[in-house]
Amino acid sequence: MTEALGSTATPESGRPEDEVAAKKGRRGGKRGKKGPFGRLALFYRQVVAELRKVVWPTRNQLSTYTTVVIVFVVIVIGLVTVIDYGFSNAVKYVFG
């Protein structure tokens, strides 16, 4: 128990972790054995698999969501316009 706190030595072997990683020197699994086109194909397969998990909205839900977003944007545009008009009148009043 004379090792310092935060030592890099592993308790099982006594070797630093960097030496263990350097001796392995290879990436594990299928990912290390494929070329760039194989990795690209794997990426696209994973994208398609994730898109299949998505719960897509129905046409009715989509139209409702679109309407809500458009109404919200119109309200925010109106609010920003009123605030901008107020600030411009205040600046005209203060500076002439």
| pLDDT per residue as tens, the chain (96 positions) | 555 565 555 555 555 555 555 555 555 555 556 788 999 999 999 999 999 999 999 999 999 999 999 999 999 999 999 999 999 999 999 998
Residues pairing with 3 in the sheet: none
Instruction: Give the list of residues 6+ apart from residue 18 with CB closer than 8 angstroms, or none.
Output: 8
| Phi, psi for residue 16 in degrees, rounded to 5 | -65, 150
Is residue 8 within 8 A of residue 16, CB to CB? The reply is yes
Q: State the alpha helices, DSSP H only, in the chain.
A: 17-24, 36-53, 59-95
Q: Which two tokens stand for residue 11?
A: 């308790």
